[in-house]
Structures are given as structure tokens and as C-alpha cells.
Amino acid sequence: MKTQLTLDLEKTLYAYWQEQGATVVEEVTMPDDRGIVDTLVRQKQQDATIWRCFELKVTKADFHSSAKLSFIGHYNYFVLPQRLYTAVASEIPHGIGVFTYHPFSKAAIAASAVPVVTPGTLTIAKPARRQELQVPEATLTDHFIASLNREVVKAKQVAKGLGQFSEADLFTELKKRSADYDIYHPDKNLYDQFVSELDNTTINALQEEIDALNAELATVKMDTSK
């Protein structure tokens, strides 16, 4: 599960490279057990393609994790909160760059005259040194496209909403949410809220039918009394 800070870094980094005209995708699995790139950026420069890999870290424990660092691109970077970068700056490997994240304050967001679309901003604290690709470019491109397709599928699923799920799937999800059923406050439980709304909808529909029948009956009585 990603922390909110990780999500903020990810969103800001995505927007940063989108503004540069690059193509971005998160969580790209590399071939030959080369790990998973947190964010992979593909950028066209004249007749060349530049690949940039980013590892997002938000705590010292995260930074010192045994998880494989997938620095297989032409340029490779850590993305760190400023405070974490200050603490681990001496541990950054030679040739690896660093983007530092600076969150916007709520006051700054409220005072902004234009819409704020990211939770913060990024600064290049340490430039990366170019290296040769560590995997074949054709293979990297295939994995990049597969990850983009995964995101398209996820977006389409969201657009379809609950209609894409079977009744069995919906029932299973409803049961999961009953694990912490509060018998003393039923109004807080999803199931009871659903049943209550369903009952209200049914009652309203029946009342509309009754009103319509009463209106027809009144019309008939008026016609027969003439």
C-alpha cells in the first residue's frame, strides 16, 4: 500500500515529465530479474530516445530497503523529500541523480490565482550521469507498452463502474465490508445504508404509483358524475 506522500511524489513527477512532452508510466517490471522501475519516462530528443528511471523513497527505511534498484535507463534518479535527501545525500551512488520534493502549503494553494494540479514541486538536487541502457531497448519498449496498456485497462474499468462486475463479485465485496459490523450503530454500516436506501427507493416508487392511480380514479369519478 502506497503512502499519501509516495502518491504525492508520484503525481508530481508524472506531471513534471508530462509538461516536458515525455511519456510516463509507473511500475514497469524489467526482464531478467532486474526489478520494477517505480516510474519510467520515455523522451524523444531529435532522432534519439532517452529513457529515465526513477526510484521513489519517502523514509530512511524505504531508502535502505533490500528491494532491487532498477537503474537500467540512460539517466537514473531517486525522488526524495528534501528532509530525507539531506539525511542520505552521502549515500547516493555515483552517477545517480536526485529530484527533491517540496509540498505546497495549504495556504499557498488557497492563495493561488490559478488551479493547482499537483501537491508540490520538484527540484533537481543532483544531476544524473548518462550510462548505456542496461537492457535491450526493444525489450524495454515492450515492457513499457505493456505497462501503458495496463493503465488503459484500469482507466476503462473505472469508466465502466460497477456494471463490469458480476453479482457474485459485488456480493463478495459487500461481505468484506461487513467484517467490522457495528451492531450498535447500524446507520454506519454499508449494508444497512444500502438496504435503507433501497427500501426508501421502493417506497417512493410505490407511492408514485398510488398517487397516479388516485389521480386516474378521481378523473373517472368526475367523468361518471357528469
Using the structure block, give the residue that is written with the C-alpha cell 551512488. Answer: 93
9 and 76 housed in the same domain: yes
Q: Is residue 137 domain-resident?
A: yes
How many structural domains compose the chain?
2
Single out the residue in 155, 190, 212 at which a domain terminates. Answer: 155
pLDDT of res. 167: 75
Closest-CA residue to 87 (of 121, 125, 128): 125
**CA-to-CA distance for 70 and 80, rounded, in angstroms?**
16
143 and 179 housed in the same domain: no
147 and 57 housed in the same domain: yes
49 and 98 housed in the same domain: yes
137 and 170 housed in the same domain: no
pLDDT of res. 110: 85
Q: Is residue 107 domain-resident?
A: yes
Supply the CATH number for residue 132's domain: 3.40.1350
For 14-18, 67-71, 164-168, which range has the lowest pLDDT when averaged over its residues?
164-168
177 and 217 housed in the same domain: yes
Position 185 confidence tier, pLDDT thresholds 50, 70, 90: low
Give yes or no for a contact between 55 and 36, defined as CB atoms under 8 angstroms apart. no
Q: Is residue 160 domain-resident?
A: no
9 and 105 housed in the same domain: yes
User: Which percentage of the chain shows pLDDT scores above 70?
Assistant: 81
> pTM here?
0.70
* Beta sheet of 23-29, edge-to-edge order: 23-29, 36-45, 48-56, 75-81, 97-103, 120-126
150 and 214 housed in the same domain: no
Give yes or no for a contact between 111 and 164, defined as CB atoms under 8 angstroms apart. no
Residues with Cβ within 8 Å of 91's Cβ and at least 6 positions away in sequence, in order, are 63
Q: What is the pLDDT of residues 104-152, one digit of tens each?
A: 998 888 888 888 889 999 999 999 999 999 999 999 999 999 999 999 8
38 and 83 housed in the same domain: yes
pLDDT at 66 over 70: yes
pLDDT of res. 141: 94
**CA-to-CA distance for 15 and 120, rounded, in angstroms?**
10
147 and 177 housed in the same domain: no
Closest-CA residue to 28 (of 70, 64, 68, 58): 70
**CA-to-CA distance for 226 and 216, rounded, in angstroms?**
16
124 and 59 housed in the same domain: yes
For 85-94, 105-114, 134-143, 155-164, which range has the lowest pLDDT when averaged over its residues?
155-164
Q: Is residue 148 domain-resident?
A: yes
Position 71 confidence tier, pLDDT thresholds 50, 70, 90: very high
pLDDT of res. 94: 94
97 and 170 housed in the same domain: no
Using the structure block, give the residue that is written with the C-alpha cell 516510474. Answer: 39
User: Which residue range is the domain that position 212 belongs to?
Assistant: 165-221
